[in-house]
Amino acid sequence: MNDSKYEAVIGLEIHAQIATQSKMFCSCSSDSFESEPNENVCPICMGFPGQLPVINEEAVKKGVKASLALNCTVPEWSKFDRKNYFYPDLPKGFQISQYDQPLAETGWIEVDLDGEKKKIRIHRLHLEDDAGKLTHIPNGTLCDYNRSGVALMEIVSEPDMRNAKEAGAYARAMQAILRSVDASNADMEKGMMRFDASVSIRPKGDEKLYPRAEIKNLNSFRSLESAIAYEINRQIGLWEEGNPQSKEITVGWTDAKGKTYFLRDKEGADDYRYFPEPDLPPINVTADFIDEMKKELPELPSEKRERYLSDYGMSEAEALLVSNDTELADYFEQVVQISGDAKRSLTFVLTILLGFLKKNGLEVHESPVSAENLAELVKLVADGKISLNIAKGEVFEEMFETGKDAEAIVKAKGLEKMSDEGELEKICQEVIDENPQSIEDYKSGKEAAFFFLVGQVMKKTKGQADAKVATDILKKLVG
């Protein structure tokens, strides 16, 4: 790729399932993962004639909350429209969406790119309902309408991103924000957050937008970034051949092949014959309602990040990692609050706990070590009752395996730090007597020989000696 000559222009559409119990326009459950196919359906979400949809207020509320968190303007009135197309996953023959008067417009979020901040503008956020799920089998196609009618929000960015990494950072930030305000669980393995990415290329310095390719239905951060990177290279290849893409197209992506493939020419709004949904009233969002929602907004990930940098002395990368993960942030803050030691808590949560969780394929909420128990372990180290090595090793391992609390394990195994200096001095003397060569080496200026002696003391005490105290005693004895 020739970086100096071309520039990629990338915009994202994000579909996120709104965290509501019931669907967008009927009372069917929106949890399709616990159900048998076609269990959560009714005449409304199956599009039977004569049925009247009813707007899910909770979905509107969460849509407004998300809009405010994305710094969008929420107009007083918005409305629903029918987007007409025929496909077997769409029993109504149209999707209920919002066309020219969306729930919210013109917002922005700030994303963190290796410590540098970039503002990505949001074009609009609108509400709509989801389609069903088709499964193709050798003899035909299976239709499951559990997802049909589930509440979605679609968030459309401006084409402000310039490479795959920026798009990935934007998508991650969006997931963190939607989760923090409880607008969506945004669980990609369950299809609760999906991306369409528009990619076009232009000569650097050119302000014009050229025909784009829209990559449909990307359902992981990795696919998103890989598909965009692939598409950028493909289109730069076309420019280099002097034959740039001449019309807008829609493409798909296969992870297995690592390639985009042509689906169809891109549909325009005309193809859908939008018209106002006659069965639904407009949505009225009053100034009072917006004030109420603003009051309910929790601390947003970007605000958390600033606080972590200033209060806990985290690095940019640490602050980003913790603040973007609501579960992890809550867990971490609980550990800090109980232990009163932010620095040690960070070490235990980020390097030790996360390592164990990852190795065992567990999420933070599945951790066998509760925040209270981890805080207690941090306290034992902070108070000098056990050494850091013993805490990180034996004690934590057993806590993780058994879920027992730290103090019980330390007591049962007799792992308290050796605080009796007389006892420690005896052991230091033994080590000195057993290693005359090392003493000689140390006296002739070899520092390493001294560390060896400290190591021997630690070994004899099974790590229970305080290394600093042992060092002082050894120095005193060796003279």
Burial class (CB in 10 A: 0-12, 13-18, 19+), 434: exposed
| Nearest residue (CB) to Zn ion, 32 versus 387 | 32
Does position 45 bind Zn ion by CB under 5 A? yes
Shortest Å distance, C-beta 27 to Zn ion: 7
Pairing state between β 116-129 and 151-157: antiparallel
**Alpha helices by DSSP H, 70-163:** none
Number of residues that bind Zn ion (CB under 5 A): 5
Q: Which of 29, 42, 394, 408 binds Zn ion (CB under 5 A)?
A: 42
On the CB side of 4, how many CA atoms lie within 13 Å of its CA?
A: 0
CB of 130 to Zn ion, least distance (A): 12
Cβ-contact 315, 122 below 8 angstroms: no
- Taking the CA atoms of 450, 456, 457 and 463 in sequence, report the sign of the dihedral they define: positive
CB of residue 374 to Zn ion, shortest distance in Å: 44
How far is 110 from 320, CA to CA, in rounded Å?
A: 12
Who's near 465: CB < 8 A, 6+ residues apart? Answer: 387, 417, 418, 424, 427, 457, 458
In terms of CB distance, is 42 or 350 closer to Zn ion?
42
Nearer to Zn ion, 44 or 169 (CB): 44
Beta carbon of residue 25, minimum distance to Zn ion (angstroms, whole number): 8
Task: Kindly state the smallest distance separating residue 55's Cβ from Zn ion, in Å.
Answer: 14
CB of 264 to Zn ion, least distance (A): 30
CB 2 within 8 A of CB 141: no
- Least Å distance between CB 41 and Zn ion? 6
In the complex with Zn ion, which residue's Cβ is closer, 28 or 431?
A: 28
Looking at the Cβ atoms of 46 and 309, the one nearer to Zn ion is 46
Q: How far is the CB of 219 from Zn ion (least distance, A)?
A: 24
Q: Is the dihedral of CA 55, 59, 65, 70 positive or negative?
A: negative
- Closer by beta carbon to Zn ion, 16 or else 45: 45
Q: Does residue 103 belong to the site contacting Zn ion (CB under 5 A)? A: no
C-beta separation of 176 from 320 below 8 A? no
Dihedrals phi, psi of 393, to nearest 5 degrees: -90, -105
Residue showing tokens 């169809």: 264
Q: Of the two residues 42 and 321, which places its CB atom closer to Zn ion in the complex? A: 42
CA dist., res. 70 & res. 301, Å (int)? 11
| Beta carbon nearer to Zn ion, 42 or 477 | 42
Encoded tokens for 110: 């700030």
Residues 12-41 interacting with Zn ion (rule: CB under 5 A): 26, 28
8 Å CB contact between 105 and 123: yes
Any idea which residue has 């020219």 for tokens? 100
Binding site residues, Zn ion, CB under 5 A: 26, 28, 42, 44-45
